Amino acid sequence: MAVLLTGCASAGLKPVAPPSPPQAPARWNAPAVMPPAASVGTPSRAEALQRWWSRFGDPALFTVVSAAQEASPSVSAAASRIAQARAARVSAQADLGVSAGLQAAASRSRASPQAPAVDALGVGAQAAWEADLFGALASSASAAQARLGAAEAGWHDARLSVAAEAGALYGQLRACEALADVTALDSRSRDETARLTSAAARAGLRASADAALAQAVAAQGRLQAVQQQAQCDRLLKALVALTALDEAALRRALAPGRSRMPDALPPEVTALPGELLRQRPDLARAEREAIAALADVRAREASALPRIAITGQLGVGRVASAGLSADGATWSIGPLSVTWPLLDGGRREAATAAARAAHDDAARQWAAALRQAVREVEDALVRIDSVRRRGDDVVRAAEEFQTVLRVTEARWKGGLASPFELEEARRSALAAQAVRLDWQRERLDAAIALYRALGGGWDETAPTPPMTPSPLAATTPARP
């Protein structure tokens, strides 16, 4: 029988190609890329990304990111999927072993009015086992294990996404606060110009239309200041919603660093595109989903072949009736059953075809995820290069306008410049400072995008819940 069934296995199972890694570009095409080489004594790529957050030196940023990860519903849902996948893995692995149970029974009966009552007591154990001759159960267990790995990688990816979102929102708030200060100074300068113009108009030195125009410009400045502050308040409330922190407590935590832009160099790109497969948790999830789909195909194919199972039981009991009793043991081995599906209306064949289609789709999804990952890195690098190329001019413009303001102020104090010239120089310097702040915010956004695209320092050995309650080092900024 064993030889016959083995022959059926070789004839019935169709080979399924194992999932192979998708093809990645040989090199990066965007500028500002470090050469793909590691120096002796330098931290690994994962360690370098894990430490990247600590470069900011901002405790409030750590608080925001940690609280956002703790409160995130996407992280919670990912943790729930891990628990479900673990339960499915335990169930699938249990099918490979022997199932056993205990049973106890007691009864009292009378077969007829003339017959004496019969008392019966019994205790026994039952066991069952299925021989996984063609690997259907093992394939199901492999699929469950792969899906658990996919769920764990999904949890890491969720935390990484939340960390990047919280960091970017935090940077937007700091930039907004700095811009609010600049806008307030600009509004006061416009008010001063309006006052000076109105005084000159009353003295007959300026036209009344000039005074009206100055008042209109001052009103616009006040309007912009109110709008800018409202935007900052909205960003703060967005952080409250993201972190689930009390607004008053969050304001106190953010107060020491108000208007100070967090700044750090972008992560170094030392890996080739193909290495993203081992650096990004979303790609690891896609890979394990493809592995699980392949195992499903093999399980479906094996389910169409014969199955062998055996059961047995052992027990002790006592029977008493009419003053007589008997004790003894009972046992049985079997039945040994062989189930060979023949006609099922094409149900199993259709299920196998569906599993193969799911496997093909999972492989394509994996390849698409890699292409998207490469695109995200390339896009972040282009943004960083654009920011870098504009940086010298932005900084120089702000510094030169500040120099003009200092010179004009000195000339005004010496009676060589009018107050109108002074306020005009002040507003020009403030406008250049606003451009610089917006450039700093863009640089921070690009750096965080690159950190996210590179996987945030994730590796396959990173812990997952509930094995460890501590924050994930790869996605939580190191405490300064």
User: Is residue 319 assigned to a domain?
Assistant: yes
SS3 string, the chain, reads CHHHHHHHHHHHCCCCCCCCCCCCCCCCCCCCCCCCCCCCCCCCHHHHHHCHHHHHCCHHHHHHHHHHHHHCHHHHHHHHHHHHHHHHHHHHHHCCCCEEEEEEEEEEECCCCCCCCEEEEEEEEEEEEEECCCCHHHHHHHHHHHHHHHHHHHHHHHHHHHHHHHHHHHHHHHHHHHHHHHHHHHHHHHHHHHHHHHHHHHCCCCCHHHHHHHHHHHHHHHHHHHHHHHHHHHHHHHHHHHHCCCHHHHHHHHHHHCCCCCCCCCCCCCCCHHHHHHCCHHHHHHHHHHHHHHHHHHHHHHHCCCEEEEEEEEEEEEEEECCEEEEEEEEEEEEEEEECCCCCCCHHHHHHHHHHHHHHHHHHHHHHHHHHHHHHHHHHHHHHHHHHHHHHHHHHHHHHHHHHHHHHHHHHHCCCCCHHHHHHHHHHHHHHHHHHHHHHHHHHHHHHHHHHHCCCCCCCCCCCCCCCCCCCCCCCCCCC
Terminal CA-CA length for the chain: 69
Q: Are residues 257 and 353 in the same domain?
A: yes
Q: Are residues 246 and 355 in the same domain?
A: yes
Q: Are residues 109 and 54 in the same domain?
A: no
- Boundary (domain end) residue, out of 295, 317, 339: 339
User: Is residue 278 assigned to a domain?
Assistant: yes
Q: How far is CA 29 from CA 77, 154, 283, 443, 479, in A?
A: 36, 28, 21, 20, 35
* Alpha carbon distance 196, 192 (integer Å): 6
Q: Two tokens at 122? A: 């019994």
Q: In the prediction, which pLDDT does 341 show?
A: 80
Q: In the prediction, which pLDDT does 15 show?
A: 47
Q: Are residues 59 and 125 in the same domain?
A: no
Would you give the distance in Å from CA 452 to the centre of its chain? 9
Q: In the prediction, which pLDDT does 476 show?
A: 43
Q: Are residues 157 and 120 in the same domain?
A: no
Q: In the prediction, which pLDDT does 11 show?
A: 42
Q: In the prediction, which pLDDT does 400 show?
A: 96
Domain count, the chain: 2
- Condensed to tens digits (0 to 9), the pLDDT of residues 93-124 reads 888 888 888 888 888 887 777 778 877 788 88
Q: In the prediction, which pLDDT does 314 show?
A: 87
Nearest CA to 1 out of 301, 340, 296 is that of 340
Which residues form the domain of 368?
A: 46-96+138-304+349-453
User: Is residue 378 assigned to a domain?
Assistant: yes
- Boundary (domain end) residue, out of 314, 339, 364: 339
Answer positive or negative: Cα dihedral of 15, 19, 25, 27. Answer: negative
Q: In the prediction, which pLDDT does 471 show?
A: 39
User: Is residue 276 assigned to a domain?
Assistant: yes
Q: Give the CATH number, domain containing residue 323.
A: 2.20.200
User: Is residue 22 assigned to a domain?
Assistant: no
Q: In the prediction, which pLDDT does 426 show?
A: 95
* Alpha carbon distance 473, 268 (integer Å): 18
Q: Are residues 372 and 427 in the same domain?
A: yes
* Alpha carbon distance 23, 426 (integer Å): 56
Q: In the prediction, which pLDDT does 43 show?
A: 53
Q: In the prediction, which pLDDT does 269 show?
A: 82
Q: In the prediction, which pLDDT does 9 show?
A: 43
Q: Are residues 189 and 318 in the same domain?
A: no
Q: Are residues 114 and 222 in the same domain?
A: no
Whether pTM exceeds 0.75: yes
Q: Are residues 175 and 189 in the same domain?
A: yes
User: Is residue 315 assigned to a domain?
Assistant: yes
Cis peptide before 335 (omega within 30 of 0): yes
Q: What is the pLDDT along the chain (480 residues), one digit of tens a residue?
A: 444 444 444 444 444 455 678 888 888 888 755 544 443 344 566 677 777 887 888 888 888 999 999 999 999 999 999 999 999 999 898 888 888 888 888 888 877 777 788 777 888 888 888 888 888 888 999 999 999 999 999 999 999 999 999 999 999 999 999 999 999 999 999 999 999 999 999 998 889 999 999 999 999 999 999 999 999 999 999 999 999 999 999 999 999 988 888 887 888 887 788 888 888 999 999 999 999 999 999 999 888 888 888 888 888 877 777 677 778 787 878 778 888 887 778 888 898 999 999 999 999 999 999 999 999 999 999 999 999 999 999 999 999 999 999 999 999 999 999 999 999 999 999 999 999 999 999 999 999 999 999 888 887 777 777 644 433 334 444 433
User: Is residue 105 assigned to a domain?
Assistant: yes
Q: In the prediction, which pLDDT does 78 show?
A: 92
Structural contact between residues 138 and 344, judged by C-beta atoms closer than 8 angstroms: no
Q: Are residues 64 and 192 in the same domain?
A: yes
> Which amino acid is residue 395, in one-letter code?
V
Q: Give the CATH number, domain containing residue 295.
A: 1.20.1600.10
Answer positive or negative: Cα dihedral of 133, 137, 138, 139. Answer: positive
User: Is residue 460 assigned to a domain?
Assistant: no
The number of C-alpha atoms within 13 Å of 355 and in the hemisphere containing its C-beta is 24
Q: In the prediction, which pLDDT does 1 show?
A: 47
Q: Two tokens at 397? A: 């413009």
Q: In the prediction, which pLDDT does 33 show?
A: 52
* Alpha carbon distance 131, 98 (integer Å): 10
Q: Are residues 188 and 262 in the same domain?
A: yes
Q: Are residues 223 and 311 in the same domain?
A: no
